[in-house]
């Protein structure tokens, strides 16, 4: 059950910047005066920063909750290939941003967001979230000696397949892992 909830959170985190970009494009702001009349001096940019802060905090929460996932490991000598995946997802994320900038209505946005959310969740392989980069995590595709390609989120710099030893992995699903060793 924890794994399912964690995957839902990761999926939301990886797609939520679409909502933030749309809110900024539409100049949606927090009505500070309704909170307190003396807060009318707060600029709109504070609202935008708070909107961005929500996915950052949820990403941090997902990193904290990852400790409750099932344990796994990759032993030294079990990896044949290493491929950095940080830059491979940039086109997808730019696509999200362009979609958010071109959507004309809130209802359309929610429909598109729901479709992206479902595709990301059911893809079962990729939970790329650029906000992980703020927490110094990197993304790698590793090909095992059995020729299975897995996705690993880690703070380590993985370069040489023969030297990869990941004893403290947490299993997100059968093909995606997060490394909890610093």
* pLDDT tens-digit series, residues 142-167: 999 999 999 999 999 998 898 898 99
What tens digit of pLDDT does each residue of 43-80 get?
999 999 999 999 999 999 999 999 999 999 988 888 99
Cα Rg, the chain, nearest whole Å: 19
H or E segment and range at residue 82: strand 79-84
Look up residue 140 and give its DSSP letter: E
Tokens at residue 165, please? 């030893």
Tokens at residue 82, please? 């290493």
Q: Helix, strand, or coil here: 69? A: coil
| Pairing of the two strands 176-179 and 149-154 | parallel
The reported pLDDT for the residue numbered 52 is 96
**Percent of the chain scored above 70 by pLDDT?**
98
The reported pLDDT for the residue numbered 19 is 94
The reported pLDDT for the residue numbered 126 is 62
Residue pair 52/93 in contact (Cβ under 8 Å)? The answer is no
pLDDT confidence tier of residue 14, bands split at 50, 70 and 90: confident
Give residues with Cβ within 8 angstroms of 9, minimum separation 6: 58, 61, 62, 65
The strand pairing partners of 166, in sequence order, are 74
Give the integer Cα–Cα distance in Å for 83 and 151: 10
What tens digit of pLDDT does each residue of 73-126 get?
988 888 999 999 877 777 777 888 888 889 999 999 999 999 989 988 888 666
Give the integer Cα–Cα distance in Å for 115 and 10: 16
Look up residue 38 and give its DSSP letter: G
The domains of the chain are located at 2-179
Give the integer Cα–Cα distance in Å for 117 and 96: 11
Residue 30: phi, psi to the nearest 5? -80, 135
């Amino acid at each position: 059950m924890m794994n399912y909830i964690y995957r839902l959170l990761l999926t939301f985190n990886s797609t939520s910047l679409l909502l933030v970009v749309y809110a900024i494009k539409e100049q949606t702001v927090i009505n500070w005066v309704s909170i307190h009349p003396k807060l009318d001096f707060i600029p709109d940019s504070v609202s935008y920063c708070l909107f961005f802060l929500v996915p950052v905090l949820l990403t941090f929460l997902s990193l904290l909750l990852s400790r409750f996932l099932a344990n796994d490991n990759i032993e030294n000598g079990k990896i044949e290939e290493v491929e950095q995946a940080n830059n491979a997802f940039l086109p997808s994320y730019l696509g999200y941003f362009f979609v958010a900038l071109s959507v004309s209505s809130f209802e359309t946005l929610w429909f598109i967001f729901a479709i992206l959310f479902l595709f990301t969740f059911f893809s079962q392989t990729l939970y790329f979230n650029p906000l992980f980069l703020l927490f110094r995590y990197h993304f790698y595709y590793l090909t095992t000696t059995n020729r299975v390609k897995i996705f690993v989120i880690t703070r380590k710099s993985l370069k040489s397949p023969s030297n990869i030893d990941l004893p403290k992995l947490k299993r997100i699903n059968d093909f995606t892992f997060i490394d909890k060793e610093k």
